[in-house]
Amino acid sequence: MSAGRALRVAAWASGATGSLTAAYLGLVTGAVPVDVGVGRRTRLLGPQTVDIAASRRTVFDVVAQPYLGRTPRVMLEKLRVLERGSDLVLAEHYTPIAGGRLSAVTVETVRFTQPERVDFRLVRGPVPHVTESFVLDETEAGTRLVYEGELGTDLWRAGQWWGAAVAARWEAAVAASLDSVKAEAERRAAPRR
């Protein structure tokens, strides 16, 4: 192979690698979503159930406050409300990935049905379809919060593989969020001294 041809092949390989890397990063971060509507496969998210020693109203307020009220400073790295209504918001959620060097960005609508339900619908993210809900039921000990959802991907088996990878991280992020909700709601419900 001539030196000129070798340089052209190396340049092409470098460009192809750069393009694949950019496409992967765009997909992972949600900047370049794939929504072609072909070969759609769905999978369930959850259920995840958390029992919380606080009233349903308190739990609902903990979930709703960062969206419907002022977003606390500690959450500004995770959440930005783009549009706010009385019972519906459009919000960006940031989830650290790749060891915290990158963030996946999702844009979702969040609908509030007081005091029993919060529904999420993906507008833009690493997959074309996600719907989720937090359902709050009163119990003798306080509140049971049940998380369930559905995640959909395109492109048949390739999309199904991608959906499994995304779902694992998605559900881990939800579990961390539910732990935070439980801790804050129980802190608010604790008797004052």
pLDDT digit string, tens, across residues 50-61: 999 999 999 999
Of all residues in the chain, the percent with pLDDT exceeding 70 is 82
With a cut of 90, say whether residue 81 has pLDDT above it: yes
User: Given the DSSP bridges, would you call strands 88-97 and 102-113 parallel, antiparallel or unpaired?
Assistant: antiparallel
What is residue 41's predicted lDDT score, i.e. its pLDDT? Answer: 95
CA 23 vs. chain centroid, Å, equals: 20
Amino acid at 190: A
**Based on the number of CB atoms within 10 Å of its own CB, is 189 exposed (0-12), middle (13-18) or buried (19 or more)?**
middle
Sheet with strand 88-97: strands edge to edge: 41-52, 142-153, 129-139, 117-124, 102-113, 88-97, 79-84
What sign has the CA pseudo-torsion 151, 156, 159, 164? positive
DSSP 3-state assignment of 105?
A: strand
pTM of the predicted protein model: 0.85
- Give me the pLDDT at residue 150, please: 98
Classify each residue of 4-37 as buried b or exposed e, where b means 16 or more C-beta atoms within 10 Å of its C-beta: eeeeeeeeeeeeeeeeeeeeeeebbbbeebbeee
Tell me the pLDDT tens digit for each residue of 86-142.
Answer: 999 999 999 887 676 788 889 999 999 999 999 999 999 999 999 999 999 999 999
